[in-house]
């Protein structure tokens, strides 16, 4: 079974930047639907950004223009670069993979994803 391992979370001041990484244990999955989700206590896990194969990625309205999802196939790694962070971005961030074709413009529900990392905490505070 594919394994996902996130890293890069931490604490940052408002307006700062942070980058997350997700190493995928099996190379074939890096071309599948890969996504970053986030969740705060008491709230539903929400998709932040996702990408499939080599098509253009899709972003949630709340992060478009500030976050960038990318991948390095040679390193089996998915990234999330986050800029202009605000307190609203504070959450546990999860990497996820699915066999669906999450083409550009579609933000899939978390229930469609089969595999999850353990999560990495991002805290934005002054």
Beta bridge partners of 6: 22
Q: Are 58 and 104 in contact (CB under 8 A)?
A: yes
Per-residue pLDDT of the chain (126 residues; tens, 9 = 90+): 899 999 999 999 999 999 999 999 988 888 889 999 999 999 999 999 999 988 899 999 999 999 999 999 999 999 999 999 999 999 999 999 999 999 899 999 999 999 999 999 999 999
pLDDT at 29: 87
DSSP 83-102: -S--GGG-EEEEEEEESS--
What is the DSSP secondary structure assignment for residue 15, as one 8-state letter? T
> CB of 92 within 8 A of CB of 121?
yes
Instruction: Please check whether residue 36 is in contact with residue 108, taking contact to mean a CB–CB distance below 8 angstroms.
Output: no
């Amino acid at each position: 079974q594919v394994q996902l391992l996130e890293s890069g979370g931490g604490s940052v001041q408002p307006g700062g930047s942070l980058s997350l990484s997700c190493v995928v244990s099996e190379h074939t999955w890096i071309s599948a639907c890969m996504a970053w989700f986030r969740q705060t206590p008491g709230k539903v896990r929400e998709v932040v950004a996702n990408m499939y194969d080599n098509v253009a990625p899709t972003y949630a309205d709340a992060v478009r223009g500030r976050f960038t999802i990318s991948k390095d196939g040679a390193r089996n790694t998915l990234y999330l670069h986050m800029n202009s962070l605000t307190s609203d971005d504070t959450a546990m961030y999860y990497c996820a993979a699915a066999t669906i074709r999450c083409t550009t413009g579609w933000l899939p529900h978390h229930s469609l994803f089969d595999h999850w990392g353990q999560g990495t905490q991002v805290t934005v505070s002054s």
